Structure 1
Amino acid sequence: MTADTIPVAVIGAGPTGLTAATLLGQYGIETLVLDRWQSVYPLPRAVHLDDEIYRLLTRLGIARQFATISRPAHGLRLLDRDLRVLAEFRRGADLGRHGHPEANMFDQPQLEALLRANLERHPAVTLRGNVDVTAVEQSGGGPVRVRLTDRSTSETSTVTARYVLGCDGANSLTRSTVGATMHDLAFAQRWLVVDVATDADLHQWDGVHQVCDPVRAATYMRISERRYRWEFQLLPGESADDYPDMTRLHPLIRPWTGDVPADELEIMRMAEYTFRAQIADHWRERRVFLLGDAAHLTPPFIGQGMGAGLRDAANLTWKLAAVLDGRLPEQVLDSYEAERKPHTRAMITLAKLVGTAMTAGGDTGSALRRMLAPHLHLVPGLSNRILDSRTPALRRSTLVDRRRLRRGLAGRLCPNAQLPDGQRFDDLAAGRFALVTSAAVTPALRAEVQDRGGVLVTASPGTALHRWLRRGRTVAALVRPDGTVQRTARDPKALRRLLPAPSPRRRT
């Protein structure tokens, strides 16, 4: 290995790549981010994230800035083709278990601008834009060579890295490099996606409006003070070219814009998208990993597409940092795909189910929705389930021990609970292993946890963490740096051996 080999190269500076690079930078891991765009990609795409991802943004250091560019969503309305309300599920103003609103609307270019600016706080991370990655090559167990072409000068060069993270989107070159193929999960719908800005007040309810129409399904949502998103399922033979301007578009959005003149509505983006459900057959080839849309595509009906990529980054980066520091063996990197792939597949399946329920069935489906939807709020617990932002537990792996309690805490996220001193759990854990316990601990155990780079968190009676442990029928939980419970025990001393060894001198 040469002195010019960098620890990590990240291909792609979208939300997933920027999140991965920031987390690596927080661990002091030298990281190079490569992207074909010199600045933020200007077109809006994702518009929703949940409280789990908001929690991750807090760890990245941009929660306060994100609050200024986002707005909580008030819930969900199901509408028929005539925009009559079939059912309504309202969210309250309370914060979720992660300390943030459970549903949040935003403009993706604004989020990416925050992530790029925040990256400058980490001297270990370098962002290089305006380059095309033309090849990713590896042989044996050695470093990875990434071949580049400068888009301004056409000059070519090569970067050598110990590990490469392919965050380069749905048309991923990295995916081709590792020989992975996308497995089609039998869902494809063509939609027209429209972003409009206006200073006019549309006088609409500020939740998500879902039109359940098998002919022309549609979604409306307010993104910010003056920006709105519409999505319309395209009819057979239609394309985005059929809506070249506001004159042609206006009849589609007028049910929401009402008397607002067309010249007061500015189209920010209008494009055709095919909503797909796909997942790569494998996410790793030796030292190259796939993250985000390079590894999976989720239909947008539950607003989890971008969040899945950020979960990938949170899951992999702490493991990679620990391997590079010599605190964990390289074999733990196998747990990335073992944990994330089943979780992602479950979320894709849910998104397909929701999309099908809202759009399928023809006239019969419409009649059933009109008959059943007004009574959904009477089903015990259904409203909470529809609005619940919790995602499935991770499957068993080398870093998730679920042997004892199938329904226990292992594999689930520790809540970002408020502590007696006003801090939240993440403030204290700060990207480290945390041993959470309601039992009395000895000074020796506390010192050992600290020597191993972890933190001991006392769950005092009456606190949210104490109630969480009791519901999980346990006394102690070892929480990983990504907030996931690795294992629980009746005796906190039984968990100390699972903490990584103290860090030796970093290898580069």
Structure 2
Amino acid sequence: MTSVVIVGAGPTGIVAATLLARYHVDCLVLDRWPEVYRQPRAVHLDDEIHRILSDLGVAEGFAAISRPAAGLQLLDADLKVLARFTREPVGKHGFPQANMFDQPQLEDLLRTNLARYPQARLRTNVEVTGFTRHAHDRIRVAFVDRATGATEHVEADYLLGCDGANSVVRRKLGVAMTDMRFKQRWLVADIRSTVDLQQWDGVHQVCDPVRAATYMRIGDDRYRWEFRLLPNESVADYSTLEKLQQLIAPWVGAATDLELVRVAEYTFRAAIAQRWRVGNVFLLGDAAHLTPPFIGQGMGAGVRDAVNLCWKLAAVIAGDLPEQILDSYPQERKPHARTLIRVALAMGWAMTAGRGFGAAMRRVLLPCLAQVPPLRLRLLEGVTPPLRSSMLVHRSRRRRSLAGTLCPNAVQSEGFTLVSTTPLSRGVHVELTRRGTTVLVVEPHSELGRWLGAGRASAAIIRPDHVVMRSGTDVVKLCRLVPSSAGLVSRPSRAGRPSHRRCR
């Protein structure tokens, strides 16, 4: 028996398991593959996800295997720059705004970190075949050991489907995907070279309705190209370096020190699951949403799912919050994911749509859009929108309300945090601490003080996932509204050590 079974040991599943283990929630991860899939896939994470990796204790490890990117530039079919959006080496979350990496290396890092926690177990080379609801609403999961053929069962209070686009969990639930009307075949090629290609050190996106393309440097000696395939083409047409040469020549020039790591064909799709929660079964990551890769947010969306859900699960299991609070997971994450999919589709349109008049409009509009301050700021600071109102996000009608946004990288806590520019009475401070709340009184001109002021607030309630639950000027009222997180902060965490709270 275990509290949570997680199906799928990709980044979403392993992050979910690590978060639960940090709250001392027993969990079992089941994955059909015997080891990490070694082929490159995702290559980009933003500073928000980098901060999450820091919370998990792998920031230094990730920095060692990643490379900050300079930003994004949009090119026309002749590789003339239409617009450029630069990224900062340190963003508002305290880390590089754009990070390039190799997914298998990140998965190795995450699995090594998970092994530190006795509360989490990982079973590989097993295939989930089904699940049923059992006594007292527990889930009974059936899986087959692929090495022996033996069928095993495990019971759990909750089941998380983190098993990708072809999710078994979603299929067994009978949950349909809503097609967002985007489907394109693309060629993806990874090349290793010790030669510096002398290209701008960011992502190059070629806006061409005939042959849209993307180029990026993902490591000291690793490069990625993506090309939209023509209707009569397949990966077989570009299976060798010689065949690829005609496509990559504008970037590699006469360089000959090139090694083809892999070439593959992918179908980029946009879709979202109609239901993300069915009783005590939840869908996360690609099982819940499919995002085209044009803004590099596919893997990050799955990590956000895990971060949003797992502290709530832990709080329910600890008795801090009622179970209906788990409805806030789809309430918050589904609109957020849908918004990012639409942003990705807009970028895909800019890259691939329209010939003739459409191409002319693109040449005129894209350079202008890059100069619009709100749009440029949105792209520079990331595409993450605020969460919508829910049981754990109370947004007001006031402009610039902080509720639903992320707190800057100055607060870290296992439970809720109250940030205030107004000192609290000793009695209120003691009561909040007793309920597991971190109390942080800051100067009005400090980083957090200025952040509160920009949101027209003197205090804010910060959730364990860094999201602002409420903000306002009535500090006494806010103190009364902070939920209890005593059960969360009193449990051992961080590989069995007692939990602690800190700010930086």
Whether the TM-score (by the shorter chain) exceeds 0.5 is: yes
Alignment partners' CA distance in 1, 2:64 and 2:289? 30
Structure 1, unmatched stretches of 5+, are 418-424
Among 410, 415, 418, which residue is 1:435 paired with?
A: 418
Alignment partners' CA distance in 2, 1:384 and 1:400? 24
Alignment partners' CA distance in 2, 1:247 and 1:304? 32
Q: Which residue of 1 aligns with 2:318?
A: 325
The answer to whether 1:385 aligns with 2:381 is no
Q: Which residue of 1 aligns with 2:196?
A: 201
Among 149, 156, 168, which residue is 1:154 paired with?
A: 149
In the TM superposition, what is the alpha-carbon distance from 1:197 to its structure 2 partner? 0.8
In the TM superposition, what is the alpha-carbon distance from 1:404 to its structure 2 partner? 4.8
Q: Which residue of 2 aligns with 1:420?
A: none
Moved more, 488-497 or 39-48: 488-497
The answer to whether 1:351 aligns with 2:344 is yes
Alignment partners' CA distance in 1, 2:348 and 2:141? 39
Corresponding residue SS for 1:398: coil
In the TM superposition, what is the alpha-carbon distance from 1:254 to its structure 2 partner? 1.4
Q: Which residue of 2 aligns with 1:214?
A: 209
The answer to whether the 8 A contact 2:138-2:155 is kept is: yes
Corresponding residue SS for 1:223: strand
The answer to whether the 8 A contact 1:91-1:387 is kept is: yes
Taking the TM superposition and a 5 Å limit, the aligned residue runs for 1:95-494 are: 95-139=90-134, 142-261=137-256, 264-405=257-398, 407-417=400-410, 425-426=411-412, 429=413, 431-494=414-477
Among 67, 77, 83, which residue is 2:79 paired with?
A: 83
Equivalent pairs counted in the alignment come to 489
Deviations 1:77-128 (A, max 9, x none): 21111212222222343x1110011111111001000000000111101111
Corresponding residue SS for 2:141: strand
- Amino acid aligned to 2:417: A
Structure 1 residues 255 and 23, CA, compared in 2 at 3 Å: closer, same or farther? same
- Amino acid aligned to 1:228: Y
Structure 2, unmatched stretches of 5+, are 492-504
Alignment partners' CA distance in 1, 2:273 and 2:375? 32
The answer to whether the 8 A contact 2:92-2:381 is kept is: no
Deviations 1:220-253 (A, max 9, x none): 0000000111000000121112222112112111
Alignment partners' CA distance in 1, 2:136 and 2:350? 47
- Amino acid aligned to 2:416: F
In the TM superposition, what is the alpha-carbon distance from 1:374 to its structure 2 partner? 4.1
Among 10, 14, 21, which residue is 2:17 paired with?
A: 21
Q: State the 4+ residue runs in structure 1 displaced beyond 6 angstroms.
A: none
TM-score with structure 1 setting the length: 0.93
Deviations 1:391-415 (A, max 9, x none): 1111111111114536411111111
Structure 1 residues 377 and 297, CA, compared in 2 at 3 Å: closer, same or farther? closer
Alignment partners' CA distance in 2, 1:272 and 1:501? 47
Structure 1 residues 469 and 232, CA, compared in 2 at 3 Å: closer, same or farther? same
- Amino acid aligned to 1:357: A
Corresponding residue SS for 1:78: strand
Alignment partners' CA distance in 2, 1:375 and 1:158? 59
Deviations 1:287-319 (A, max 9, x none): 110000000000111111100000000000000
In the TM superposition, what is the alpha-carbon distance from 1:38 to its structure 2 partner? 2.0
Alignment partners' CA distance in 1, 2:324 and 2:374? 42
Alignment partners' CA distance in 2, 1:120 and 1:76? 36
The answer to whether 1:10 aligns with 2:6 is yes
Structure 1 residues 503 and 432, CA, compared in 2 at 3 Å: closer, same or farther? closer
TM-score with structure 2 setting the length: 0.94
In the TM superposition, what is the alpha-carbon distance from 1:501 to its structure 2 partner? 6.1
In the TM superposition, what is the alpha-carbon distance from 1:351 to its structure 2 partner? 0.7
Q: CA RMSD in A?
A: 1.6
Corresponding residue SS for 2:191: strand
The answer to whether the 8 A contact 1:10-1:31 is kept is: yes
Alignment partners' CA distance in 2, 1:85 and 1:502? 54
- Amino acid aligned to 1:398: M
Deviations 1:428-478 (A, max 9, x none): x2x321011110111111111111112001121221100111111111111
Alignment partners' CA distance in 1, 2:197 and 2:252? 5
- Amino acid aligned to 2:84: E
The answer to whether the 8 A contact 1:449-1:499 is kept is: no
Alignment partners' CA distance in 2, 1:22 and 1:339? 21
